Amino acid sequence: EAGSHTAGDALEKKGKHDKVDVTISISGSTASCSIPTLAFPSISTADFQFDLEKASDIIVEQVEEYIGRIGEAKLVMVDLSHGSKILSLVKTKAAKKNIDSNKFSTFVGDITQLRSCGGLSCNVIANPTNWEIKPGGGGVNAAVFKAAGFVLEVATKERAEKLAAGECVVVPLPSSSPWFGAEGVTHVIHVLGPNMNPKRPNCLKDDYTKGCKILREAYSSLFEGFASIVK
Ligand code: AR6
């Protein structure tokens, strides 16, 4: 089957009735720390309420476009739960395309503990953030800033104070960050996706023409950012 880790898959099947979010420990992962790997969650589909079917089409399309441009490097899409609808949509759609399953896979686990709890080494982590690239707010953003510590805030501010929807900023993680030693993370790429949640700023009010365009830009700038690190 295209796009999955063998070990992760077995566990995914085993745990498919799990009700809550779990972090999984696997042994025998095929991951290797020497190969640059980007771990990314689904941008905009939780707090920002973007449609899952549309998002999964865009993810697969963008992965297909970029997978040939990153050399040996790998992409891993991550979500917290075995029941993740977006992860299963992407897996199903990716399997129908000609995407090398050694280079693109899905993984269930906490994106801040992929190596320590999941046995998966990813040196670059994508963070779907907010306009001001501020810590907190929940989801991946809160978890990433917490795991990486204050040095990530400082390093981020040196590079960008704000993002427009569809943009990203690549931030090298200082080696003094606890995340650097514990997880082997060398870079964080903050990326701002389109917002469909009326309770958050700049809501697109169901304008999926704009929303899809921005989500596509968000993934393409994320993957370009990763490619720039790999080179
Ligand atoms: N590990 C792996 N995946 C996760 C984790 C985690 N620790 N936490 C959430 N996910 P979200 P958005 C999955 O809400 O929709 C923040 O407040 C989650 O299940 O983090 O782009 C920011 O400050 C979902 O599939 O991102 C922004 O204001 C995916 O990650 C806003 O949320 C993305 O969910 C951005 O919202």
Measured CA to CA, the distance from residue 143 to residue 24 in angstroms comes to: 17
Which residue's CA is the nearest one to ligand 1's atom 9?
139
Q: Which atom of ligand 1 lies nearest, measured to the CA of 81?
A: 19
111, 140, 179, best to mutate for ligand 1 pocket (most atoms within 8 Å of CB) = 140
Q: Give the ligand 1 atom nearest the CA of 48.
A: 15
pLDDT band for position 34 (cuts 50, 70, 90): confident
Residues 58 and 42: beta-carbon distance below 8 Å: no
Mean pLDDT of 93-99: 94
Measured CA to CA in angstroms, residue 94 lies from 3, 59, 63, 142 at distances of: 7, 9, 9, 29
**CA of 165 relative to ligand 1 center, distance in Å:** 15
pLDDT at 7: 40
Residue type, 32: S
Residue ranges and CATH numbers for the domains of the chain are 6-230 (3.40.220)
60 CB-near residues (< 8 Å, 6+ apart) = 90, 93, 94, 97, 99
pLDDT band for 16, please (50, 70, 90 cuts): very low
Q: What pLDDT score was predicted for residue 17? A: 38
Q: Give the position, in ligand 1's atom list, of the atom nearest the Cα of 131.
A: 28
**In DSSP terms, which residues pair with 37 in a beta bridge?**
74
> CB of 140 within 8 A of CB of 133?
no
- Calculate the average pLDDT of the chain: 89
Cα of 70 vs centre of ligand 1, distance in Å, is: 25
User: What is the atom index within ligand 1 of the atom nearest the CA of 134?
Assistant: 23
Residue 4: is its pLDDT beyond 60? Answer: no
Question: Which one-letter amino acid corresponds to residue 149?
Answer: G
CA 46 to ligand 1: nearest atom? 15
**pTM (2 decimals)?**
0.89
184 alpha carbon to ligand 1 midpoint, in Å? Answer: 21
Q: Model ipTM?
A: 0.99
3-class secondary structure, 131: coil
pLDDT grade, residue 229 (50/70/90)?
very high
pLDDT at 33: 53
Say yes or no to pLDDT of 24 above 50.
no
Q: Which residue has the tokens 């498919």?
A: 16
pLDDT of residue 231: 83
Whether the predicted pLDDT of 31 surpasses 60? no
Within 6 A (CB) of ligand 1 lie 41-48, 78-80, 86, 110-112, 128-130, 137-141, 143, 193, 200
DSSP 134-194: -S-SSHHHHHHHHHH-HHHHHHHHHH-S---TT-EEEEEPPTTSHHHHHH---EEEEE---
At 184-210, the pLDDT tens digits run: 999 999 999 999 999 999 999 999 999
Determine which residue's CA is closest to atom 13 belonging to ligand 1: 79
Q: How far is the CA of 224 from the centre of ligand 1 (A)?
A: 21
Is the pLDDT at 8 greater than 50? The verdict is no
**Is 70 exceeded by the pLDDT of residue 39?**
yes
The mean-pLDDT minimum among 29-33, 66-70, 152-156, 168-172 falls in 29-33
